[in-house]
Amino acid sequence: MKSINANGHIISFEEPKIMGILNVTPDSFYDGNKFNAVDAAILQVSKMITEGVDILDIGAASSRPGAETLTAEEEISRLKPILSEIKNQFPELIISVDTYLSKVAYFAINNGAQIINDISAFEIDSKMLDVVEETQAPYVLMHMKGQPRTMQANPSYESVTEEVLKFCIKKIEQLKARSVKDYIVDPGFGFGKSIDDNYKLFMNLEVFKLLEAPILVGISRKSMIYKLLGITAKESLSATSALHLQSLFMGANILRVHDVKEAKQTIDLYKMLVKHN
């Protein structure tokens, strides 16, 4: 799959793309409470556009380990004013909504978002599959073992790569059965996986090319990086960039990031290295 159709916006993956994270939450692990006011969110979006973002991913409910569970109505109330103003000021920007609730996804797609990014791959809310079928919005399906509140409580696998791959195959079959053509695969780094699991999965990223779908890598400033190195999320940008470069060589098509400028630099370096390989 070389491209997806996001409500008339054709996104080609001949070159890697940057998905910029906008958490409009008070409690996200890295940038909670920074962008949950409209003015602050708009300034951050403007900055990301200047730095070269391709897709904006807006999340109104934190999915960090132990995060509180919101109702759809609570999530929509956070999302609505910010999504509205972003569409007003940046009408050409491609927007993804980061939610596992079908009502939130349906609201977002009908109010200017073009992509659904579901960390549960419709495991938490089975009606999400109905929304994807009806809207035909490109869908990011991600593997998560358990739920955000409990996912890091001693996760275990016989073979993490095999289990995640089989999960993705099953989910793609379900999407195809609903005539959904545009989907993206996210192995789910940090979601129900130990540090070792994350790196085993990371080093087998090329396996997911078998799915013939764009591969999204979401490792930006995650604990798999900063806990391993004994640093904080704030200090983990250079290590994040190092893994981003490696992931591109292993087949990543989308980098989901907090830091757009540095991701763009990483992609530019990757393109130069490939050009002279």
State the catalytic residues.
Answer: 222, 256
Phi, psi of 201 (to 5 degrees): -65, -45
The residues, any chain, with a CB within 8 Å of residue 165's CB and separated by 6 or more, are 207, 208, 210, 211
Question: What phi-psi label fits residue 221: left (phi over 0), alpha (psi between -120 and 50 degrees) or beta?
Answer: left
Alpha-carbon span 61 to 207, nearest angstrom = 31
Nearest to 186 by CA among 220, 152, 158: 220
* Cβ count within 10 A of residue 157: 17
> In a 10 Å sphere around its CB, with 0-12 CB exposed, 13-18 middle and 19+ buried, how is residue 111 labelled?
middle
The SS3 assignment for 223 reads helix
Alpha-carbon span 168 to 170, nearest angstrom = 5
Alpha-carbon span 204 to 49, nearest angstrom = 32
The SS3 assignment for 253 reads coil
